Amino acid sequence: MRMILVHADHDKANEARLQTALDIARCQRAHVTLLIATPFQQFVAVDPFGGSYLLREAMAKSQAEDAALEAALSVRLETEDVPWDVVVADGDIVGSLAAAATFADLAVVSLPGKPGSRAIGPELLAGDLALATSVPVLALPRDCERLDLDAPAMVAWNGSPEAANALRAAVPLLRGREVVLVSVGKDDGTLPAGDALTYLSRHDIHAEARIVDRGGVTVEEALEKAADAMGAGLIVMGAFGKSRLRETLFGGVTQYLVTAGRIPLLLAH
């Protein structure tokens, strides 16, 4: 990983994203790009007669706040030993991040947190971005101070191509950790866990595979319970769903972990 993209905003979780990106950049000798995205469209109002007009004062205030954030981030980063730049975009957050991620190796965002946490940005930002780009997305819980690069990592394994893509994308973040592939119930995917372990071993990552029972809970709850039991500091999983429709794409396991997850999540589609 030589290019790390970070979603930058005025939210208090911004510092955790920045610090995590800096930690990874030092290990990978990477460049960090911070993207501030404020959708221009939100300042266009529609009147009852079908006309539209620009909310100039609100837009000017937002632009001033973004300029202040850009300046503050620049001052903050001047003392760091990592190459960086700050980019400002006026498109929607997911679209701007996806466009900027075209030539990135990792995108860092935050999970939405519990209801009432006043998080800024789309609720399914991590999931939407993982679908919009081929770049792996690292999503941090809002109460996370930084990613623990030494804690065990759990790969949610179901034998699917999406899980394999996520595993490959995570390799730079898996080295030097304890890594466990966890399947809930019988592995009914087309790709055996043994092949995944062989792949990791070729990258000097000596992992193990475990099968856990659901025990009367949902698959997502079983995965989170397994992650807690091993003290996982990262969950790696493929972003996939049961429907082509956006409204139901993130059903089940993925939706649970991108909306209510308590552990940093690496998603790849």
Instruction: Assess if residue 15 is contained within a domain.
Output: yes
Provide the 8-state DSSP code for 175.
Answer: T
Instruction: List the domain range (segments joined by +) for residue 76.
Output: 3-140
Same domain, 43 and 158: no
Which residues, at least 6 apart from 62, have a Cβ–Cβ distance to it below 8 Å? Answer: 38, 43
pLDDT tens sequence across 239-267 = 864 443 333 334 467 777 888 789 999 99
pLDDT tens sequence across 113-133 = 665 555 556 778 998 899 899
Residue at a domain's end among 140, 173, 193? 140
pLDDT tens sequence across 173-189 = 999 999 999 999 876 66
Instruction: Assess if residue 103 is contained within a domain.
Output: yes
Total domain count, the chain: 2
pLDDT of the residue at 61: 86
Instruction: Assess if residue 232 is contained within a domain.
Output: yes
- First-to-last alpha carbon distance for the chain, in angstroms, is 18
Residue at a domain's end among 140, 165, 184? 140
Same domain, 132 and 233: no
Helices within 9-145 (DSSP H only): 14-28, 56-77, 93-100, 125-132
Instruction: Assess if residue 99 is contained within a domain.
Output: yes
User: What CATH number does residue 174 fall under?
Assistant: 3.40.50.620
Same domain, 86 and 167: no
Work out the average pLDDT over 71-89. 96
Work out the average pLDDT over 162-179. 96
Instruction: Assess if residue 147 is contained within a domain.
Output: no
Same domain, 56 and 120: yes
pLDDT of the residue at 49: 67
pLDDT of the residue at 107: 98
Query: pTM here?
Result: 0.90
Using an 8 Å Cβ cutoff, are 122 and 246 in contact? no
Residue at a domain's end among 140, 167, 200? 140
Same domain, 135 and 164: no
Average pLDDT, the chain: 88
Instruction: Assess if residue 145 is contained within a domain.
Output: no
Question: Of all residues in the chain, what percent carry a pLDDT higher than 70?
Answer: 87
| pLDDT tier at 38, thresholds 50, 70, 90 | confident
Using an 8 Å Cβ cutoff, are 136 and 213 in contact? no
